[in-house]
Structure 1
Amino acid sequence: MNLFIDTSNNKLILILEKNNQIIDFLILNNQIRISDICITELTKFLDKNNVKVQEIENLYATKGPGSYTGVRVAISVIKTLKVINNKFNIFLISSLAFQAGDKQAISILDAKGSKLYFGVYENKKNIIKDQLIPLEYLQDFKKQFKNFEIIEDYKEVDFIQVYKKIKDKFELIKNIEDIKPMYIKHFI
């Protein structure tokens, strides 16, 4: 059984999956107080599906970039579960890679202050490293990658389909010390 958690960009996204079949999902938009609801919603979600935490084998999550608190919430849940039960396998991916999915895309997230988190992806591969750029640089990248779709701020992303298509691109994290969220400070 696999559990995907994303709280990085003002959404709470939970996906329960087994043998490449989606069992259930929950997507709550515009969650300003995600830290207040994540554990409660996760508990209700697992209870609704009659799944005990011990039945989960693999934990999938985004590691950011995104809102500082949002990134911390999912990572904290994942780390806590791993400490409680070391048998869990942990798989992480950047929010930009998750948002791009398997598309030929310029993936951007608003970093506030006229800045963007930015990455360019093609066929599930990062061809321009995730980075923080000034908003005005985006036009140059749009010209350079004119055949690439612009995907921004988790808008119009089919989270279930993206998860299924790129699940193999999440990175296995073997040691809890290697679970490192991507915050804005990592881009500066």
Structure 2
Amino acid sequence: MELFLETSLSSLYLALINNQKIIDKIELKALVKKTDALFEQINLLFVRNNVSINDIKKIKITIGPGSFSGARIALLYARSICQLSNIKLAITTTYELIKKQLELKNQFEGYIKIKANRYNTYLIHFDKLTNKFLSSEIIDEQNQYHELDYDFLETNFEKFETCFQEISDLMGIELCYLHDPQIGGL
């Protein structure tokens, strides 16, 4: 059994995965304060499925870009659990999941837009030959960005497996920030 946590984008999304299929999930849309909700919702998901943390063999998370504190909360939870157990950790960026989604839907055009904050969007370009991350910039578009289609993800999760990379150096994980985070009013 695996636990998937996506906290970098606007929603809080958790899923239990068995044999590369999502068997149950919780999605709280447009949730700003995810910290307390994450722990409550993981407990709810476990209780609902008669599962404990001891049943989990791997945790999969996104490491950004997206919400500064959102990206941090999944990493801190997953890394703490994995350090104290034999649970494996696999990571991916939000843009890799969205790129895979667009590719599977035949809608990928060489770039992705991800909401950076309430005022800006990340424009992420990919190399045309290698299809790898090339560059990013912040643009002033508030309402035009790609979103992760969680329903599509649920029905096609096995096709997203290639996006994840298993990590052995838990303390070496760095979150994906495409610009310097703004903390407070600075």
- Normalising by structure 2, what TM-score? 0.79
2:64 and 2:5 map into 1 onto residues whose CA distance is 12
What is the 5 A alignment of 1:2-151? 2-85=2-85, 87-102=86-101, 103=103, 105=108, 106-112=111-117, 114-120=120-126, 127-129=131-133, 131-135=135-139
For the 8 Å contact 2:15–2:22, the answer to whether it is kept is yes
- % same residue: 19
2:84 and 2:4 map into 1 onto residues whose CA distance is 18
Q: How many residue pairs end up in the alignment?
A: 172
Cα 1:89–1:155 shift into 2, 3 Å: closer
2:130 and 2:64 map into 1 onto residues whose CA distance is 15
Determine whether 1:171 maps to 2:150. no
1:121 and 1:38 map into 2 onto residues whose CA distance is 35
The structure with the greater share of residues assigned to strand is 1
For the 8 Å contact 2:8–2:71, the answer to whether it is kept is yes
Q: How big is each residue's C-alpha offset from its partner over 1:24-80, in whole Å with a ceiling of 9 and x where there is no partner? A: 111111101111211111111111101110110011111110110100011111111
Equivalent residue letter for 2:75: I
Give the stretch that moved more between structures: 49-58 or 10-19. Answer: 10-19
2:135 and 2:72 map into 1 onto residues whose CA distance is 19
Equivalent residue letter for 2:44: K
- Normalising by structure 1, what TM-score? 0.79
For the 8 Å contact 1:100–1:121, the answer to whether it is kept is no
Gaps in structure 1 of 5+ consecutive residues: 137-149
